[in-house]
Amino acid sequence: MSTGAPPLSGPPKPQARALNCPKCGAAITLRSFGQAVTVVCSSCRCILDAKDPNLAILQQFEIKTSDVKPLIPLGTRGKLRGTDYEVTGFQRRSVMVDGITYYWHEYVLFNPYKGIRYLSEYNGHWNDISICKTLPSADGGGATYLGEAYKHFQSADANTDFVLGEFPWQVRVGEKAGVTDYVHPPRVLSSEKLEKEVTWSIGEYMYGREIWDSFKLPGDPPEAMGVYENQPSPVATNVTGMWVAFAAFAVFLLLLMGVFDMRAKKEPVLQQTYRFDRAEVKGEPSFVSDEFALTGRTSTVEVKTFAPVSNHWIYLNYALINQDTGQAWDFGREVSYYYGHDSDGSWTEGKQNDTVVIPSVPAGHYYLRIEPEADPSLPSIPYTVEIIRDVPVFGIYGIAFLALLVPVVIICFRAYTFERSRWSESDHPPVQLSSGSGDDE
């Protein structure tokens, strides 16, 4: 500091001013110092000129219901994004859509250094709002702000119908502003048009719990009802990313299939044609095949059956028996093929081929016991049995594919229904898919 200079007297330290309503005499406190432009007397509902030392009356309003009460009382302080703010003003606003009036509440927050900020609340949904410092650009369908695209949500005329406390602008009950909201969850970009002045603000969605914690309010916040315009989706935020991940897994599965298919030896170990002849079958119909060896590692064994059935069936009771250990795998296969014509045209059912895979068969000497049964109307039929060792199994990939697909589809469906209910409240409701699905309220 310079020497000899007189001490700066400076203006007096600003403090909350205590005044009295010129109409009813009730005490009025100005909490936002010089930033208050209008202040409302809470007892006689006068809107007063806060800039006037005599608090000239600007408007008096009446409210039919007495239950318009701020959820955060005026004068409450809380920490929002690291800064202390005091609630200095409260207003209720409404829009009328299709003959129904919707109300929401706005809170004016004040910090003498950081200035004014706002909170809005609608049906338990909160937004932390501040005035845009840079100019968004808007066209009919959307707006761009700080390089981010926002979708048009709703345009409506907002009416101010109840005010309390102080406002940094000339507030009046009954004043209408053209409000347009553009969304990019969790943010909402709003323009408010009042006569020739347009004010842009940017809001970010907040949960009631965060507000309650910030302002240390007792009890619980009112439960949020429905889906709000900029409410972040509780479902996976990045549906596209999920599909990309899914596609990557699918490709991985295909690669895995390819690798295992290449590694599989697909080694034929037995191929034999037998004949079922009812006339010859006397007593015990079962017989055994030639012996064959399975070599190499424990692997799958595929048993293929072919029979030229035609509107018949043949049933084969198989047992794959390890000659060395006596271990047996019993299984029965049916080969049937039917076809015909009916009123819907021609039809077929079944196939002349059957394939079955037995997993994890160790190396050793084996034979197949076969016990055929056949359609009683079938006197005689040939059938071929083929055994192939070490075949790739693809069924497991199908299961894995489905196991991956199902959650992705469920999440996408949930994301879709959430977005549907969000947009059903907008100027651009989603098209109803069918008359029966009109239940998304």
Partner 1 sequence: MSQPVANCPNCGAKIVFRWSSSVQTVCDFCKSILVRTDVDLKKVGQVADLPPDSSPIQINTEGKYGNKAFVVVGRILYEYDQSGWNEWHVMMNDGSSAWLSDAQSEYALSLSSKAPNLPAAAQVHVGQQFTWNNQTYTASVITPAHYRGVEGELPFQYWDKADVTFVDLRTESRKFATLDYSDPEPALYLGEFVEFDDLKLKNLRSFEGW
Q: Is residue 196 a contact point for partner 1 (CB under 8 A)?
A: yes
Minimum distance from CB of 182 to partner 1 (Å)? 15
Q: Is residue 111 a contact point for partner 1 (CB under 8 A)?
A: yes
133, 422, 424, 151: CA torsion to nearest 10: 30
CA separation for the pair 214, 107 (Å, rounded): 14
CB atoms within 10 A of CB 427: 13
Q: Is residue 311 a contact point for partner 1 (CB under 8 A)?
A: no
CA separation for the pair 405, 428 (Å, rounded): 31
Considering only the stretches 29-37, 121-129, 202-210, 235-243, report the one whose residues sit in contact with partner 1 under the rule CB under 8 A.
Answer: 29-37
Task: Report the DSSP pairing between strands 100-111 and 83-97.
Answer: antiparallel
Q: Is residue 168 a contact point for partner 1 (CB under 8 A)?
A: yes
Sequence-distant (≥ 6) Cβ neighbours of residue 66 within 8 angstroms: none
Contact 137, 158 (CB under 8 A): no
Minimum distance from CB of 171 to partner 1 (Å)? 12
Nearer to partner 1, 49 or 302 (CB): 49
CA separation for the pair 135, 83 (Å, rounded): 25
Nearer to partner 1, 5 or 433 (CB): 5
Q: Is residue 76 a contact point for partner 1 (CB under 8 A)?
A: no
Minimum distance from CB of 243 to partner 1 (Å)? 33
CA separation for the pair 130, 187 (Å, rounded): 11
| The two three-digit tokens of residue 219, written as one number | 């009890």
Q: Is residue 9 a contact point for partner 1 (CB under 8 A)?
A: yes
Q: Is residue 35 a contact point for partner 1 (CB under 8 A)?
A: yes
Minimum distance from CB of 77 to partner 1 (Å)? 9
Judged by CB under 8 A, which of 56, 96, 131, 293 binds partner 1? Answer: 131
Minimum distance from CB of 260 to partner 1 (Å)? 57
Judged by CB under 8 A, which of 23, 114, 172, 176 binds partner 1? Answer: 114
| The two three-digit tokens of residue 403, written as one number | 């196991």
Q: Is residue 54 a contact point for partner 1 (CB under 8 A)?
A: no
Instruction: Give Rg (Cα) of the chain.
Output: 40
Contact 194, 169 (CB under 8 A): no
Which residues make up the interface to partner 1 (CB under 8 A)? Answer: 2, 4-6, 8-16, 32-35, 37, 51, 84, 111-116, 131, 133-137, 168-170, 196-197
